[in-house]
Amino acid sequence: MVTFDEIFSRNILAWGEEKQQRLAEACILVAGVGGLGCTVAEILVRSGVGTLILIDNGIVDEPDLNRQILYTLDDLGKVKVEAAAEKLSRIHAQSTIIPVNSRIVADPALFDRLRHYNFHGIADCLDNFSSRFIVEELLNEELFLVHGGVQNDYGQMTTVKKNVTRTLKALYPNVEDAHSPLPVCPQIVACVGSMMAHEVVNNLWNTPQLLNILFIIELSDFTFSKIQLR
């Protein structure tokens, strides 16, 4: 049987046994298992996060295959969270994957169900702001939310903490959700998703790098910039 120390030996060389153990004891809610969510979830599993809760109500279809790295032709028509959980569970046996096939709605029963898992933070990998604002309502002062978004070859990220940073609603007060599919290339999804996963890990170690900072990535000219939000 492959052991914990064998699987994460290179991680431990990079950041040490104490940090690796903290990841093993952590639980993260991954909201949305599309382009960003697939990348974030896979990297968190390979980083050694002990429990992931995946919430989405989508079905894998053909346009997903350009950027949603957990899915293949064999998954077309399958429930996303179930297909993703199956793929993630094949990486190693050190992470528990909990699929929640549900639409994200402001429902007390859904909130109670999710809070039951005692997660430490949220990865906002959603593609619409109405759902993002609902997920943000799960935050208390002990939790964090790492928000990411992509379009074309542009991406942005920030970390949200209650009473420490601006809320997503304050950052995007007049935003309207798109009514048609957004253009997205796979490169920006992989780039932003990997950085979101690293910021989740930073938060689990109590060293967040994007509090009150909007981190912007523009792949068209390889521009990386930070905007101070306070």
Place of tokens 């295959």: 65
CA 61 to chain centre: 20
- Report strand pairing: 213-218 vs 223-228: antiparallel
Q: What one-character-per-residue DSSP string does 144-203 give?
A: EEEEEEEEBTEEEEEEE-TTTS--HHHHSTT----SSPPPB-HHHHHHHHHHHHHHHHHH
Determine the distance from the C-alpha atom of residue 114 to the mean position of all C-alpha atoms in its chain, rounded to a whole number: 15
Residues 107-137: pLDDT tens digits?
999 999 999 999 999 999 999 999 999 999 9
- CATH 3.30.1330.60 for domain 4-228, yes or no, is no
Q: Would you call 173 exposed, middle or buried from its count of C-beta atoms within 10 A (0-12, 13-18, 19+)?
A: exposed
Residue 205: per-residue pLDDT: 98
Sorted by where each begins, the domain ranges of the chain are 4-228
At 180 the pLDDT is: 82
What H or E segment, with its residue span, contains residue 30?
strand 27-31
Q: Between 147 and 181, where is the model more confident?
A: 147
pTM: 0.97
State pLDDT tens for residues 4-27. 999 999 999 999 999 999 999 999
Residues near 29 by beta carbon (within 8 Å), at least 6 away in sequence: 52, 53, 55, 114, 117, 119, 121, 122, 123, 135, 138
